[in-house]
A = this chain, B = another copy of it.
Amino acid sequence: MITAREALDIILNNVRPLGPITVSLAHSLGYALAEDIVADDNIPSFDNTSMDGFAVRSDDIKAAPVVLTIVEEIPAGKIAEKTLKSGQAMSIMTGAKIPDGADAVVQVEWTERMDERHVKVLRSVQAGHVIRLAGGDIQKGARVLERGQTIRPQEIGVLASLGKEFVQVYRPARVALLATGDEVVPLNKKLPEGKIRDSNTYTLQALVQECGGEAISLGIAEDIREEVKSKVAAGLEADVLITSGGVSVGKFDLVIDVLKELGVEIKFWKVNIKPGMPLVFGVRDTRYVFGLPGNPVSTMVTFLKFVKPALRKMMGHRAVDNGLKVQALLQHEIKKQDGKRHFVRGILESQDGSMIVRSTGSQLSNVLTSLTKANCLIILPEGKNQFSPGEKVEVELL
């Protein structure tokens, strides 16, 4: 059986980024940039003052205290009409452009207003004092943001400051969801004895939404070859098809048979992990298929570990992995016997300056409530089967 690392490499080597679309800046949150952003002006575009005060010539106030004549007031957003001459000062507001002739600003706290026309400067300052220089944040011509960066609120702020009303981003992946199994019943139908609710379609919709993709539900396919085939064929119209269910050996065979019939090349089936071992990944041209095991926890964990990085790569994000990994001290012993890589639902906390983590309890793969208690997955690598209290383990935030 291949390892989790090998499986992820196969997936990432196969999936290709989707094409770009143009979106307005106000609707760009969460997308990845599909273009480099180069500043076509300095930010700020002019020297300005970072404090309220008086624009002066620093030479004039070397022998402070000195009285200067106020010749103009410059509110933020306005340009001085005059050029500042020796012996003069201009009252200036935070953010306003430094007038020609001035080379420093003295903050209002270091001055004393004598009358309407005169100010006493109490302290001398160096040339450049409290002046923010043009280009101090962004230099004209600089590559400010790069293709593949994820757009967060701060990137939106930078794009706005550069005057970008529209940006090119990678388009969202269309992800078709197909639940399989005679035992699965949709939410809006009565639940007959011996059957269970379709929860995976809802979980997967939410997971796809969190990734920035567009989920399309194909409903539930009964375990009839022709029905599975027609729904899988429809799903192959999307960028990605995710099937869930078919936990039993026989059912997986049916889904895999149908995929092969429809021209999907199966890249792997089964990964050395728990939960989620019977994971399937296939490719047909630029369409990708993930067959996820049907137990709710297996479905969610395999999505997070394998489908999410694929979707992030398709949607252009340079960082495809699952965010920050931290090291934490395990609070209790964990044993496994199968040598697989385990993803254990865990609770990570900060305690007295250390990160500590414990299991949520039962790790049965049908117990989804354990994931509602979890805020992380504890990664227990292949090969090693015993983990002791106080041992450092790797943890991924959920």
Contact = CB atoms under 8 A, between A and B. Distances in A.
Contact of A181 (B95, B157, B354): B95
Given A52-B250, A78-B194, A207-B153, A327 B300 contact: no
Interface string A310-347: 00000000000000111100000000000000000000
Interface stretch (A11-19, A112-120, A137-145): A137-145
Given A158-B369, A248-B93, A368-B157, A187 B165 contact: yes
Interface in A166-215: 181-184, 187-188, 191, 193-207, 209-210
A155 B372 CA distance: 6
Contacts of A78: 182, 194
Contact of A137 (B25, B163, B366): B366
Contacts of A50: 364, 366
A179 to B, nearest CB: 11
Nearest to A209: B29
A251 B75 CA distance: 10
A156 to B, nearest CB: 5
B348 A94 contact: no
A101 interface: no
Contacts of A294: 95
B25 A202 contact: yes
A199 B157 contact: yes
Interface in A366-398: 366-369, 371-372, 374-375, 392, 397-398
Contacts of A77: 181-184, 194-195
Interface residues of A, number: 94
A263 interface: no
Contacts of A249: 52, 108
Copies of this protein in the assembly total: 2
A144 B373 CA distance: 10
A245 to B, nearest CB: 9
B158 A199 contact: yes
A72 interface: no
Contacts of A96: 183, 194
A367 B136 contact: yes
Interface in A228-275: 247-251
A282 interface: no
B368 A161 contact: yes
A46 B366 CA distance: 13
A210 B52 contact: no
A359 B250 CA distance: 55
Nearest to A249: B52
A76 interface: yes
A93 to B, nearest CB: 5
A163 B186 CA distance: 9
A365 to B, nearest CB: 9
Contacts of A156: 199, 202-203, 205-206
Contacts of A132: 364, 366
Interface of A: 25-26, 29, 44-46, 50, 52, 75-79, 93-97, 108, 132, 136-138, 144-145, 149, 152-165, 181-184, 187-188, 191, 193-207, 209-210, 223, 247-251, 294, 296, 300, 324-327, 348, 350, 353-355, 364, 366-369, 371-372, 374-375, 392, 397-398
The 7 A-B residue pairs whose C-beta atoms are closest, nearest first, are A77-B183, A157-B203, A77-B182, A154-B371, A160-B199, A153-B206, A76-B183
